[in-house]
Chain A
Amino acid sequence: MSHAGGIAAVVVVSILTLGIGIWGLRVSRTTSDFFVASRTVRPALNASAIGGEYLSAASFLGVAGLILTFGADMLWYPVGWTAGYLVLLVLVAAPLRRSGAYTLPDFAEARLGSRRVRALTSVLVVAIGWLYLIPQFQGAGFTLRLATGIDAPLGGLVVAVVVLASVLSGGMRSVTFVQAFQYWLKLTALLVPLIFLLWVWMGDGSPSPANPAFDVASQSGSWADPLSGHGTDSAGHPLYSTYSIIIATFLGTMGLPHVVVRFYTNPDGRAARRTTLVVLGLLGLFYVLPPVYGALGRIYAGDLIADGRSDAVVLELPSRMIGGTLGELLSALLIAGAFAAFLSTSSGLTVAVAGVVSQDIVERWLPGVAAFRLAAVVAVVFPYVLAVAAQDVGVATAVGLAFAVSASTFCPLLVLGIWWSRLTDAGAYAGLLVGGFLSGIAVVRTFFSDGGTSWFLTFLAQPAAWTVPLAFLTMIGVSLLTPQRRAPHVSTFMIRLHTPEGVPLHRG
């Protein structure tokens, strides 16, 4: 593959991103614009922006790679990443918007009236944000090496610089426009090449990817069947792992920092619900596509598994199946989509982490927008350095762990905080500590060693199925033991969360 098309794709996406960012700057002047786009974003635009921000490298490249390697069980990742929005819609969307808080720490403090819970929540937001940013930079490095031939650390640096430039110039308002554009770019970039690829596949007599002839010699289990443990050394515990993935993804979405921040840009609770519904549709439309790339990859690019480069399957297929100028053009389109995926998710996470860092730390010394800009630099530089230093664990694996940590900490905080008036600050603090600590151990273990199949190692590789219930039980148990610590304003706060804005009530 020559690099001209790839370089052109990266340059065009960068210029469009910065161009739209600068255009957004003209309508973005106040601190409120920077943080929440002044809360005037309509559902259709906002939903595209949420979709653009949410569909990361893990969705664009990682899912196809996982399905190529591990088969049917990996279909649960895209399903869970979509279903997570349904859970968020029914349990969190409208009340979270009505709480009037901007970040999760704001919500925790408003609900529980505790500075200590706020501080712990801030630490967790930054930790989850960085855990999610590291694989974005790593994936960007490897995509740019494939596309343009430059070194991986340099590729990550390109993404970091473009993200910083767009976030620093316009804040949330311009990021909204950039990300809405990037959702549609990603969808097009995956859809158009797929039409050509399926055409070629049918021309080849539509061979079934389920055919065992495509198995790489060392693999056990049937690729097309769920729960067969395909792609692992032995069968392991696939039913447990599958349910743990389901719990992490279904419940983890609501606590991701860049997802939560988006809800404050809706005008009211009703708009927050409608936006989320549109997001469900947009995600479903997108997630039909990556598994097809994974299945085609099994027929045409099975050797990538042995090379440990399965994340590249989406980018490699056009040159392998079509070739020539058309193959180059389609490759360039896919590279543009992948690059957009890194940029949009990284910018969303940067805005979210920078929001927390600037509100809780930097604003003691600097005024609003300057604090936000300094915090944005911190929010990008630290995970970039880690991405270069740490070993590559696979884009989707690292992102999966971020979901597990989020499900073990913020899911109980949000669900109990919104629906259970007896939650106390002590209960929330204990639950966050238990969930964060246990899932944190699992993260460290996964980053520093290879997988195994004993029960103990399976528990650590997919922690959500036991850490989430433990975090919930701790929050409930400690809250019941400390009834005297219930926040005095809790009934007013519940009224604010659950009553429509049109009713003239006192909301605290």
Chain B
Amino acid sequence: MTGTPEQPPPRVRVTAPRSDSRRRPQLLVQEIDEQTELGAVYVRSLLWAQLRLAVGILVAMGLMIGSLPLLFTVAPELLNRTVLGMPLTWGLLGFLVYPLLLLLGWVYVRRAERNERSFSDLVDR
């Protein structure tokens, strides 16, 4: 702010900090190995993501399957319904439950592998 420059400011070469993107991942693996605060944060975030996913799947299973005995207790009129010539309970517990369990398992495996991929990408690029 002192004086009025007669000449334009000298040109400055602007570059991205080249080495940074290469050095950082190496550091992250080291951070985890040396059990620093930062490393612990990364590991904890993976662990929490996987635990949240697991609990989510278990809650979904509990609501869809585990709640059935209670449902039959509070709403016994459901027992009189028939599906495909079969009592509703038999259709649900004898057949429908199995594809549902498989679907939940499939969703879990996809998401769990995705969580691990993003952890690998982050830490070990």
Instruction: Identify the stretch in B1-9, B13-21, B93-101 within 8 Å (CB) of chain A at 4 or more residues.
Output: B93-101
Residue of A nearest to B113 (CB): A270
A225 at the A/B interface (Cβ < 8 Å)?
yes
Residues of chain B within 8 A of A280, CB atoms compared: 101-102, 105
Which residues of chain B from 55 to 84 have any CB-CB distance to chain A below 8 Å in the complex? Answer: 57-58, 61, 65-66, 69-70, 72-73, 79
Cβ contact within 8 Å between A76 and B93: yes
A452 to chain B, nearest CB (A): 22
**Contact present for B101 and A225 (CB under 8 Å):** no
Q: With the chains together, A495 CA to B47 CA distance in Å?
A: 9
Docked Cα-Cα span, A190 to B29, in Å, equals 52
B41 proximity list for chain A (CB < 8 A): none
Of all chain A residues, which has the CB nearest B53? A90
Q: Are A75 and B108 in contact (CB under 8 A)?
A: no
- For B101, list chain A residues within 8 Å (CB): 82-83, 85-86, 280, 284
Docked-complex contact A86 and B104, CB < 8 angstroms? yes
| Minimum distance in angstroms from B33 CB to a CB of chain A | 4
Chain B nearest CB, measured from A445 CB (Å): 24
- Asked whether, in the complex, the Cβ of A82 is within 8 Å of the Cβ of B98, the reply is yes
**Residue pair A500, B98 in contact (C-beta under 8 Å):** no
Beta-carbon nearest neighbor of A500 in chain B:
B116
In angstroms, how far is the closest chain B Cβ from the Cβ of A29? 34
Q: Which chain B residues lie closer than 8 Å to A226 at the CB level?
A: 69, 72, 79, 89, 93
Indicate with 1 or 0, residue by residue over A259-294, a CB within 8 angstroms of chain B CB atoms.
Answer: 000000000001001101100110111011001100
Contacts of A500 in B (CB 8 A): 116, 119-120
* Chain A residues near B43 (CB-CB < 8 A): 491, 494-495, 498-499
A491 to B98, Cβ gap below 8 A?
no
Most chain A Cβ neighbours within 10 Å, of B29, B69, B113: B69
Q: Collect the chain A residues with CB atoms within 8 Å of residue B50's CB.
A: 498
Report how far A89 CA is from B101 CA in the complex, Å.
11
| B38 adjacent to chain A (CB < 8 Å) | no
Q: Tell yes or no: A161 within 8 A of B by CB.
A: no
The number of chain B residues with a CB under 8 A from chain A is 46
Given A224-B87, A242-B69, A288-B94, residue A499 in contact with residue B119 (CB < 8 A)? yes
| B104 neighbours in A (Cβ, 8 Å) | 86
Please indicate the chain A residues that have their CB under 8 angstroms from the CB of B87 in the complex.
Answer: 72, 210, 224-225
Question: With an 8 A cutoff between CB atoms, is A44 at the interface?
Answer: no
Q: Which of B47, B58, B89, B124 contacts A498 (CB 8 A)?
A: B47
A246 interfacial by beta-carbon distance below 8 Å: yes
Interface of B is mostly: helix
B42: min CB distance to chain A, Å: 9
Chain A 471-498 interface 0/1 with B at a Cβ cutoff of 8 Å (1 = within):
0000000000000000000011011001
Cα A21 to Cα B39 with chains together (Å): 48
When chains A and B are docked, how far (Å) is the Cα of A494 from the Cα of B70? 38
| A277 CB contact (under 8 Å) in B51, B90, B109 | B109
Q: Give chain A nearest CB distance to B65 CB in angstroms.
A: 7
CA gap between A242 and B66 in the complex, in Å: 10
Report the Cα distance A85→B54, complex, angstroms. Answer: 13
Q: Are the C-beta atoms of A274 and B73 separated by less than 8 Å?
A: no
Residues of B near A270 (CB, < 8 A) are 113, 116
A297 shortest CB reach to chain B, Å: 15
A205 located at the interface, meaning its Cβ lies under 8 Å from any Cβ of chain B in the complex: no
B93 and chain A: residue at smallest CB distance: A75
Q: Which residues of B contact A284 (CB under 8 A)?
A: 97-99, 101-102
**Interface size class, chain A:** 35 or more
| A94, B108: Cα distance in complex, Å | 12
Indicate if A470 sits at the interface (CB-CB under 8 A): no
- Complex Cα gap A506–B31 (Å): 11
**Which residues of B sit under 8 angstroms from A277, Cβ to Cβ?**
102, 105-106, 109
Shortest distance from the beta carbon of A101 to any chain B beta carbon, whole Å: 19
Neighbouring B residues of A498 by C-beta, 8 Å:
43, 46-47, 50
Bound form: Cα–Cα A419–B83 in Å: 41
B116 touches A505 (CB 8 A): no
Given A226-B69, A506-B33, does the pair A72, B90 have CB atoms closer than 8 Å? yes
List residues of chain A with CB within 8 A of the CB of B54: 90-91
Q: Is A227 interfacial (CB 8 A cutoff)?
A: yes
CB pair B102–A281 under 8 Å, yes or no, is yes
Q: Name the distance in Å between A505's Cβ and chain B's nearest Cβ.
A: 6
Decide yes or no whether A8 CB sits under 8 A from chain B: no
Question: What is the bound-complex CA distance between A85 and B101, given in angstroms?
Answer: 9
A267 CB to nearest chain B CB (Å): 15
Q: Are B89 and A72 in contact (CB under 8 A)?
A: yes
B73 → A minimal CB distance (Å): 6
Per-residue contact bits, chain A 91-116, to B (CB 8 Å; 1 contact, 0 not): 10010000000000000000000000
A288-B98 in contact given A83-B61, A91-B54, A273-B112 (Cβ < 8 Å): yes
| Distance, CA A286 to CA B51, complexed state (A) | 30
List chain A residues, Cβ under 8 A from B85.
206
Besides A72-B87, A280-B105, A491-B43, 5 new A-B residue pairs in contact (Cβ under 8 A), listed by A number: A83-B65, A291-B94, A494-B43, A502-B120, A503-B120
9 closest Cβ contacts across the A-B interface? A284-B98, A75-B93, A90-B54, A506-B33, A500-B116, A242-B69, A280-B105, A503-B124, A277-B105
**Sample (30) of A-B pairs whose CB atoms are under 8 Å apart:** A72-B87, A76-B93, A82-B98, A82-B101, A83-B61, A83-B101, A86-B57, A86-B108, A87-B58, A90-B58, A90-B108, A206-B85, A224-B87, A225-B79, A226-B72, A239-B69, A242-B69, A250-B66, A273-B112, A276-B105, A284-B102, A287-B98, A288-B98, A492-B35, A498-B50, A502-B120, A502-B124, A503-B124, A504-B124, A505-B29
